[in-house]
Chains A and B, each alone.
Chain A
Amino acid sequence: MRMIQKIGEWFDHRLQLAAPIREAAAHPVPRNTASWFYVFGSAALTVFILQLVTGILLALIYVPSAGEAWSSLQALNHQVALGWFIRAMHGWGSNFMVAIVLIHMVQVFLFGAHKFPRELTWIIGVFLLLMTLGMAFTGQVLRFDQDAYWGLGIGASIASRVPVIGTFAVKLMLGGPIIAGATLSRFFALHVFVIPGLLIGFVCLHVLMVLKLGINEWPMPGRVVRRATYEAEYHALTKKDGAPFVPYAIWKDMFFAAFIILAVSACAFYFGPFGPTGQPDPTIIQTAPKPDYFFLWLYALLSLLPPALETPFLLIVPPLVILSLILLPFLSGEGEKSWKRRPIAVVTVLMTAITLGTFTRLAQFTPWSPHMNAWSGDPVPDRYIHGTTALERQGALVFQVKQCRNCHSLGDMGGQRGPTLDSVAVRLTQDQLIRQVIQGGGNMPAYGNNLSPAETTALVAFLETLHPTTQRPARDAARDLVLSNGQSQTSGTQP
């Protein structure tokens, strides 16, 4: 025991670190900050360290070469002992990190911690969020599969829309004219050296500032922040009602950190690693690329925005959001901290969460994408064929063969790009059906060049049978009138 103490003293005589560490550990924090609400910052740091460790482990096997990355991932999944588990830890760790960083940000914002004097801590936090998202995107690229390959194409297509420098940005991003070896290498450099290096530096600054400025006290409604008096009030608070950070507050951080590590491990163990999906071979086009979880909202947004709004939105909104996050502590650096007295802040957080959540949910079943195999894979429900005429059955065939099913569902099967057609005959008359099929419109291609008159007749005859038994198909009353006036009424309405 004395030996260890002596060795410790020998080192500290040279390093001189014990005193500042002791001081940091013992610095008083307001008692009410020893709360489960205050554990997300340290949890983010925990997951970050976990990512560093698992990332280094993966780098022992992974090969950042466009020709070999995919097979090295296969080797990790199937050949190396527990390679799949380390990959899964890293993948789930990234999901957890994005989630925890966002939760931390929301907590800090709702507790008013971005206000004076912690403005810079918040701004550095915004950069940490951007770098976390940067790690998420570059990490998805390193999982060099079909999703990564086409995801890069999407990134390039977005970058190319920047005025003036767009085409240069694409070549800089890809490291050449196409997505190839140089692209993966530079994303490897970004993911493994550049962004983590910046992250480590910024995390140190962030934590240092929390130590120097003190943790944000629990916000009390009515306790207003003023630049002139806040610091004195805070020091008085820590003196009057403070406790040393270690062990008074840290035990909750420690428990939560361990819980998070176990949660990541459990997810990794039960759900396994992410991909890789198919080989990154651009000649295999039977693929429907999708981004990882944290970018699904963007995927949905890019499908749902009106085409003309898309480029302005992509180029203007993200810089505006980042700018407003950076400016936030300057615009509301003083005043109430408690979320109970900041309704606009609460509504902003709720609206953002609901919007992102809705888009993410939508992107999970992509109603805007045609189902590429519906025309050959999803049968027409037999209740729609039962008791139909030969012409109507021929129409059902046309309906399948012309891939209408890829965008229109019948009996809850098929694409959702266009409206479901189970009761289309109630909505559209025969004439309207013919017009819609031939001319298209309302986001439907025109099929006039692609259907013979016989096919159109058959198709429309089939579509006219699609109505509930209790509801009659729509018909143009005026047309019946004109027809009956013009000539003596003949049987049927066949054209």
Chain B
Amino acid sequence: MSTNPVTTPPAEASISRRGFFMKLGILFNGFAAMVLALPVARFLFSSITRGRGNGYLSWVSLGDVSNFPEGETRMTTFRNPLVMPTDGKTVDTACWVRRVAADKFQVFAINCAHLGCPVRWFAQSGLFMCPCHGGAYYRDGSRASGPPERGLFEYPYKIDNGVLTIDAGQLPTPGDPVAHRTSEEPPCA
């Protein structure tokens, strides 16, 4: 359907009073939008800005080192450092602790390095297995088979007065540099 053009305004070179005020109005609204956009953007991206410079990470206790017998790998849980009132149980995180020697540990994230499913430890075969896509890792966390391109994520740890603490607070994902840290001296298998 062709539409008849509405009566076009006279093409004038000079700026009319109404035209000027309309442009001013647009400008004024643009200014208001900018004033509003800043706090909105700040709010919307707060989860990113907060995390800058590993702002989410802090040292978390996993309990006394005597809870972890030498040569064994055990699951333990810790509470995420950042807790919001509506989080429920989701802030409780599991991890695998392997005590290599008296003061030598490896703390693995529960999340498979492929797509984050929870890996399970099989002491008899010395393997971590993932139920989702079949990734498998050796006892030292290195990749054994399946789709993962790397070994398990490891938390940096230290021992404070006989208490095992790890630097945690963020979901480890394959693309995240935080997930690629290891302890100062990586223990051998």
Binding site for B on A (CB under 8 A): 65-68, 149-150, 153-154, 156-162, 166-168, 170-172, 174-185, 279-283, 285-289, 299, 302-303, 305, 307-308, 310, 368-370, 372, 375, 401-404, 406-407, 417, 440, 443-447, 449-450
B171 touches A174 (CB 8 A): yes
Among residues of B, the one whose C-beta sits closest to the C-beta of A416 is B134
Chain B residues with CB under 8 A of A308: 149
Chain A residues with CB under 8 A of B93: 178, 282-283
Complex-state Cα separation, A370 to B129, whole angstroms: 7
Q: Which 4 A-B pairs have the closest CB atoms?
A: A67-B88, A160-B175, A153-B116, A181-B86
Determine which of A167, A171, A402 lies in contact with B125 in the assembled complex, contact meaning CB atoms within 8 Å.
A402
| Closest chain B CB from A306 CB (angstroms) | 8
A171 touches B48 (CB 8 A): yes
Q: Which of A149, A178, A288 has the most CB of B within 10 A?
A: A178
Complex-state Cα separation, A231 to B171, whole angstroms: 56
Among residues of A, the one whose C-beta sits closest to the C-beta of B179 is A160
Chain B residues with CB under 8 A of A171: 47-48, 51
Looking at B10-18, B32-40, B140-148, the stretch in contact with chain A turns out to be B140-148
| Closest chain B CB from A167 CB (angstroms) | 5
Known: A157-B111, A177-B169, A289-B132. 11 other contacts (CB 8 A): A67-B88, A150-B116, A170-B173, A172-B45, A178-B171, A182-B84, A185-B86, A282-B94, A404-B125, A449-B189, A450-B125
B131 touches A (CB below 8 Å): yes
Q: What 0/1 readout, one digit per residue, does chain B (105-120) give for beta carbons within 8 Å of chain A?
A: 0000011001111111
Q: Which of A65, A160, A171, A307 has the most CB of B within 10 A?
A: A171
Chain A residues with CB under 8 A of B45: 172
Take A66-B87, A282-B90, A302-B133 as given contacts and tell me if A172 and B118 are in contact as well, using a CB distance cutoff of 8 Å: no
Among residues of A, the one whose C-beta sits closest to the C-beta of B116 is A153
B136 touches A369 (CB 8 A): no
Determine which of A150, A180, A369 lies in contact with B84 in the assembled complex, contact meaning CB atoms within 8 Å.
A180
A67 touches B48 (CB 8 A): no
Complex-state Cα separation, A178 to B50, whole angstroms: 13
Determine which of B80, B94, B126 lies in contact with A180 in the assembled complex, contact meaning CB atoms within 8 Å.
B80
B86 touches A177 (CB 8 A): no
A285 touches B116 (CB 8 A): no
State the main secondary structure of chain A at its contact with B: loop
B147 touches A174 (CB 8 A): no
B92 touches A (CB below 8 Å): yes
Chain B positions 16-38 with a Cβ under 8 Å from a chain A Cβ? none
Chain A residues with CB under 8 A of B89: 66-67, 279-283
Binding site for A on B (CB under 8 A): 45, 47-48, 50-51, 56, 75, 77, 80, 82, 84-94, 110-111, 114-120, 122, 124-127, 129-134, 136, 138, 144-149, 169-171, 173-178, 189
Complex-state Cα separation, A156 to B172, whole angstroms: 9
| Closest chain B CB from A338 CB (angstroms) | 29
Q: Which of B94, B133, B145, B175 has the most CB of A within 10 A?
A: B175
Among residues of B, the one whose C-beta sits closest to the C-beta of A170 is B173
B147 touches A283 (CB 8 A): no
| Closest chain A CB from B43 CB (angstroms) | 11
Chain B residues with CB under 8 A of A440: 144-145
Take A285-B75, A287-B118, A403-B122 as given contacts and tell me if A177 and B127 are in contact as well, using a CB distance cutoff of 8 Å: no
B110 touches A181 (CB 8 A): no
| Closest chain B CB from A212 CB (angstroms) | 9
Determine which of A67, A170, A375 lies in contact with B171 in the assembled complex, contact meaning CB atoms within 8 Å.
A170
Take A157-B116, A168-B48, A279-B89 as given contacts and tell me if A403 and B127 are in contact as well, using a CB distance cutoff of 8 Å: yes
Among residues of B, the one whose C-beta sits closest to the C-beta of A444 is B145
Complex-state Cα separation, A285 to B88, whole angstroms: 17
Chain B residues with CB under 8 A of A446: 144
Take A285-B110, A445-B127, A449-B189 as given contacts and tell me if A368 and B134 are in contact as well, using a CB distance cutoff of 8 Å: yes
Chain B residues with CB under 8 A of A299: 132-133
Complex-state Cα separation, A224 to B93, whole angstroms: 62
Among residues of B, the one whose C-beta sits closest to the C-beta of A69 is B88
Among residues of B, the one whose C-beta sits closest to the C-beta of A285 is B118
| Closest chain B CB from A282 CB (angstroms) | 6
Complex-state Cα separation, A126 to B80, whole angstroms: 40
Chain A residues with CB under 8 A of B120: 285-286, 372
B176 touches A160 (CB 8 A): yes
Determine which of A184, A285, A303, A401 lies in contact with B133 in the assembled complex, contact meaning CB atoms within 8 Å.
A303
Chain B residues with CB under 8 A of A66: 86-90
Complex-state Cα separation, A440 to B145, whole angstroms: 9
Chain A residues with CB under 8 A of B86: 65-67, 181-182, 184-185
Among residues of A, the one whose C-beta sits closest to the C-beta of B51 is A171
Complex-state Cα separation, A364 to B116, whole angstroms: 20
